[in-house]
Amino acid sequence: MSIKAALKRLSRLPSAQERFNIFTSISLNVNNELETSSGPLKGLLFGIKDNIVTKDMPTTCGSKILLDYKSPFDATVVDLLKKAGAVAVGKTNLDEFGMGSGGVHSHFGPTFNPLYKDGNFIAGGSSSGSAAAVAADVVDFSLGTDTGGSVRLPAAYTSILGFKPSYGRISRHGVVAYAQSLDTVGIMSKDLNVLQRVFRVLDKYDPKDPTSLNNSLRSEASKHLVHRNTLKIGVPMEMNQDVVPFEIRQALLKVIESLMAAGHEILPVSLPSVKNALPIYYTLAPAEAVSNLARYDGIRYGYRDEKQDIEDGTLFVPTRRNFGSEVQNRIVLGNYNLCSGSFKNNYIKAQKLRVELINQFDDVFRLPNILTGNEGNPNGVDMLLSLASMSLPISVQDYKSKDMRNPLHSYINDIFTMPMSLAGLPTLTIPAGNNMKGIGVQLSGQYGSDQSILNAARTLV
Amino acid sequence: MITRVRLNFPRKLMSTYRRTGVVGPKFENIHQVEAYLSKSFWTIEDLLPRYDITKENIPSEETVKSLLKLSGLPMQNLKDMQLKLANQLSFINTLHNLPVDETIDANHARIMIRHPKPLSFNDIEMATSKEMQKDESLGEVSGSWDTVECSKIHENGFFVVREGLIRNRD
């Protein structure tokens, strides 16, 4: 992209920031960096979700607990993008520590959806600012993180592309952990070519990340590309839900109609464990979050209470009370899940049920799974197609009042995205519904088939 | 015009007790897909509590106090926290009644290779000697970083805990 075009994009930032509350901090060096950048992503502007660490801008995770915190190093993903010539515009708003699906639980206030010029609608979360930055045409692409749907849901709500690669494909070194067995860095853009170019830069083994997919498995995965012109695409029956509004179901039907017209085969698929995905997730993820959030005591870095470090005989309460309410709820739940009785009854059981879900995905895919050793089902499907969200974006006020009445209502919003997170599968959200705003469908593939998903998406974009 | 479509799914696709993934026969036309998409095979609202939160299913105040203490969080809004936890538990406790194959190795829940090559003594020795070396790419450069520079309160290069770590604690 030319510097002129990049500067034009950049000129939209002040008004977009004022209207949609997209960024938590903004780089003051963009113009200089644009002039000197070189590499395959030269001149492309990007936003960084504010739970990915950067040396030259604060990393707050949308929390008062990390207000003004500056990391001594750049995350591997930031480093790779800078070396490839992309220029960071700023850090983007998010639900505190990635916990939320509306983009409203941030110390910096909610992000608003740029698709709606009138009224304050949610952008979806937790990568709310990253999605809004792309939707408002302030950046060419954004980095988000996806633990249970945090890239794909906001991508659907803002009608952009949101890609969650296979778990371990993109380095997590320098990504502030929420639930490390699920956390994945994702890419958001309006342009599939840009998204693919960015993925090519980031798709590398990183020795600094112990969960990074090693080179021999990457090479194994590259042997299993889907080469067919006509694909077998499965539609999971467990994702048919009466509560989904008619217009959203119609959008999925239209996508399927166009796929059938292009000669692809559509098949019904059943994955019974999809029904268990939410309770599994909310057993495992808060338990992992508890360990990750235990480090925020204010002693070594981050916010610290001005007066004391102890309250009611418990250390660090004066500082830790500054976590937002949703984070506090999940910490308490996580500690409950890890207590001896619940650990055996819930935690271990949830892990076993997660294995059943992974095995069921293996049952339906034609490609082998390079991690589980499953050889693939010769009569299986190449990909799965489903909706990305259960509802259309609603106003921030409605979201908050629903959430206050019962937070479980926002938890169930992730039912379509969570199964793929639990199985670590590559999934791309693609805008659907023609002129309808805020609807997306998801294309998912076998573990490691990221490139095949991106190639297949060309049929739909 | 309403098109009547008959969907002939294999019995194994419809079984409630099945624990495997199944692929059905391909759809022949868009009307079949439409009929399929309009049928809900379960409802997500089943996951939401069907009962009112009462004294019987609410976690005790003692339980919540002990969880807050473990969490390093303030003992406030106890009633509210009890109610929130009760709601969350009603949701995740649906796992209690689910059958599960007890022979499954819970370690396979991690998205990692399930059957890695066993490590030899030589592998461990090599990895250990590599770990012992400084790695500049990890920021392991002597004198490059002041460990207490991000701390709000520090003294002579040490972190400070006001009121001490041992005194005044339950």
Which ipTM did the prediction report? 0.92
Give me A63's structure tokens: 């929390």
Higher pLDDT, B140 or A347: A347
* pLDDT on residue B52: 64
Residues B22, A412: C-beta atoms closer than 8 Å: no
CB-nearest partner of B111 from A70, A328, A424:
A424
| Residue B16 predicted with pLDDT over 60 | no
Chain A interface disruption, residue of B33, B71, B161, most A CBs within 10 A = B71
For B73, which of A279, A320, A353 is closest by C-beta distance? A320
Kindly indicate the confidence band of residue B24, based on its pLDDT and cuts at 50, 70 and 90.
very high
- Is the Cβ pair B95, A346 closer than 8 Å? yes
Is residue B104 classed as helix, strand or coil in its secondary structure? coil
Distance of CA A351 to the CA centre of its chain: 22
Q: How many residues does chain B have?
A: 170
In this structure, are residues A265 and A284 in contact, taking their beta carbons and an 8 Å threshold? Answer: no
Helices A277-293 and A325-338 cross at an angle (nearest 10°) of 100
For B39-71, how does the pLDDT look when each residue is reduced to its tens digit (9 = 90+)? 998 888 877 766 566 667 789 999 999 999 999
Across the interface, do A167 and B161 touch by the CB < 8 Å criterion?
no
Contacts of A359 in chain B (CB under 8 A): 20-21
Distance from CA of A54 to the nearest CA of B (A): 14
Asked if residue A222 has pLDDT above 50, the reply is yes
Tens-place pLDDT, residues A429-451? 999 988 889 999 999 999 999 99
The CA–CA distances, whole Å, from A262 to A431, A440, A445, A456, B56 equal 18, 20, 19, 12, 57
Mean pLDDT, all residues of chain B: 85
pLDDT of A99 higher than 90: yes
State residue A405's pLDDT score: 78
Mean pLDDT, residues A176-205 taken together: 98
Using N-to-C axis directions, what is the helix angle for B61-71 and A325-338, rounded to 10°? 100
CATH number of A3-218: 3.90.1300.10
Contact indicator for A78, A52 with CB cutoff of 8 Å = yes
What is the pLDDT, as a whole number, of residue B1? 44
CB A170 within 8 A of CB A203: yes
Show me where the domains of chain A are located. 3-218, 224-279+345-459
Residues of A whose CB is below 8 A from B159: 299-300
Q: Which of A447, A448, A446, A451 is nearest to A233 (CA)?
A: A446
Position A315 pLDDT exceeds 90: yes
Please check the confidence at residue B87 and state whether its pLDDT lies above 90. Answer: no
- Please classify residue A120 by burial: count the beta carbons closer than 10 Å to its beta carbon, then call 0-12 exposed, 13-18 middle and 19+ buried: middle
Q: Pick the residue from chain B with its C-alpha nearest to A305.
A: B152
Query: What is the pTM assigned to this prediction?
Result: 0.95
User: What is the Cα–Cα distance from A136 to A132, expressed in whole angstroms?
Assistant: 6
Q: Provide the annotated active-site residues of A.
A: 49, 126, 150
- CB-CB neighbors (< 8 A) of B49 in chain A: 408
Average pLDDT over residues A69-78: 94
Distance from CA of A126 to the nearest CA of B (A): 20
Q: Is it the case that residue A235 has pLDDT exceeding 70? A: yes
As a whole number, mean pLDDT of residues A265-276 equals 96
Q: Which range among A168-177, A398-407, B77-86 has the greatest average pLDDT?
A: A168-177
Position B2 scores a pLDDT of: 44
Of the listed ranges A377-381, A440-444, B95-99, the one predicted with least confidence? B95-99
pLDDT class for B167, splitting at 50, 70, 90? low
Residue A241 at interface with chain B, using a CB cutoff of 8 Å = yes
Q: Output the CA–CA distances (angstroms, integers) from residue A166 to A176, A371, A422, B10, in the order listed.
A: 18, 11, 11, 31
Q: How does DSSP classify residue A456?
A: H
Same fold, A3-218 and A224-279+345-459: yes
Query: Poorest-confidence range of A107-121, A281-295, A399-413?
Result: A399-413
Residue A449 neighbours by CB under 8 Å, 6+ apart: A166, A221, A224, A225, A226, A367, A426
- Checking if the pLDDT of B94 tops 90, the result is no
User: Residue B139: pLDDT band by 50, 70, 90 thresholds?
Assistant: confident
Burial degree of A295 (CB within 10 A; 0-12, 13-18, 19+): exposed
Residue A268: which of B36, B64, B151 has the nearest Cβ?
Answer: B36
Minimal Cα–Cα distance from A147 to chain B, Å?
A: 13
To the nearest 10°, report the CA torsion of A198, A204, A209, A211.
Answer: 100
A-chain residues near B105 (CB < 8 A): 355
A355/B108 Cβ within 8 A: yes
Mean pLDDT of chain A: 95
Query: Is A282's CB within 8 Å of B111's CB?
Result: no
pLDDT for residue B11: 62
CA distance B133 to chain A (A): 14
Give the pLDDT of residue B51. Answer: 58
Please say whether the structural domain A224-279+345-459 has been given the CATH code 3.60.20.10.
no
